[in-house]
Chain A
Amino acid sequence: MTMLKVLGQTLAAGCMALAVAAPAQAQSQPREIAINVGFGAGGVYHTMAMTLSRHMGRYLPGNPTIVVRTMPGAGSILAANHIANVAPKDGSMLAVIGGGTILEPLFRNAEAKFDPAKLNWIGSTSSETYTCVVWKETGVTKLQDMIERPLNAGSTGRGSRTNTYGAALNELLGTKIKLVQGYRGMNDIHLAMERRELDAVCGWGYSSIFSQKPDWLKDDKINILLQFAREKHPDLPHVPLIFDVLKTERDKAAMQLLVLDSYVAWPLVAPPGVPAETIATLRKAYIAALADPTLLAEAKQLQLGIAPVAGEDIQKVVQEVMASPAEVIENARKLSGL
């Protein structure tokens, strides 16, 4: 009986404390922050957000709980539209979208109803270097071989990264890549390479090779022929960067747009119109959380590469890209096969 009484009193006291504290907190800081992930549960975007959610709250005033929710659809355009038009503009709702989504409004996709330059970019957990990878048994060892002989490369369909980079290479360098379109995802492409239905894939993240097929690197099953990024990956000094093999400034300018998703690979964004100081707080907490030893240990276990890109930098690059000359945008759009 006494136990119950004590319990009752504690509960009552707790409720009162909450009642007093809640309105005070609600005014200054959100008690809960939601991160909407534009992709399905269990994927890299979701895993990244889950990992971040466990630690970022500690670095924000009021230590809010961070809840991760999935809002998959249309390659994260759905989540981008939501964060730009529907989400509250008080910092209580953020979103994880694909880096390539930025190009959708730029390439005049009518369904993409957001302005990337107006979104508030909090940061990206890292950049990514995309590669062209060829199955070793084909005997193809260098870029020149791809110009001389046809290769079957897997693609998840037009408009996807696995298609864009291959199509752009054919256009710019005259490679004879035959894109076999329609695979459901990267996993299916890998399996098709293993059973020799496919010879190659372009647009595979370098860090993903380590998490998805480390044995292919270990057992020397593949050759990496080319890298797509703004600059060379330190691990791949001998693999040519796309900008080193492009000849004209016109091509390079267009390619700068296409590799935007390698720079902004796993971004976290806030809605437009959130107060500047809230954004500053979020950006600071983001960088601090990504340096947290516990987070880093978890990320290592999850094979997530952490090399944060600051939100301010992304904001600048996105604004630059959005202000590109119409001709450059049109070239890039054509190259991507859209």
Chain B
Amino acid sequence: MASGQGAAKGKVAKRGSAKRGGAAGLLLPLLALAPLGYLAWPTLLVAGPLMAPTLAAAVVDRSRRRHLTYAVGLLNLSCVLPALLRLWTQGHDRATALAVIGDPENWLLAFLGGGLAWLVHLAMPPLVAAYYAVRSRDRLAELHKRRQILEKNWGEEVSGPAE
């Protein structure tokens, strides 16, 4: 009993130290990236709000492989790219960033990309289900046919165990 409790405590302690180790592991890169963040502040100012559909997908997507997040993120990012190019080409400063973010065309484009990914995500399961139903039916027919040919050529006893 005592040894069991000890082992449990040990596990908890290990988990705690791992957590602490993980936080420490993140802190250092963040500190290293802080100057970069300062330099990229206008980019973050533009990308942050325009990537809102991706943030929403990241919050909603609880799957292990996070396909939804990737899908929305990639399309959203590709649609944010023209706004970022405008920022980077017209002056990477706060005023330009505010001008870019104030342009509704950029908002429309960014949310159109994210929305499109969302729409595909929502429409895809019925399509895949329909596809699989047809595929399953065809495959079953083929398998039954092959099995019938085997039974015709080798008799019913072919269904017995292979030696």
Are A and B subunits of one complex?
no
**A residues at B contact (CB < 8 Å):** none
**B residues at A contact (CB < 8 Å):** none
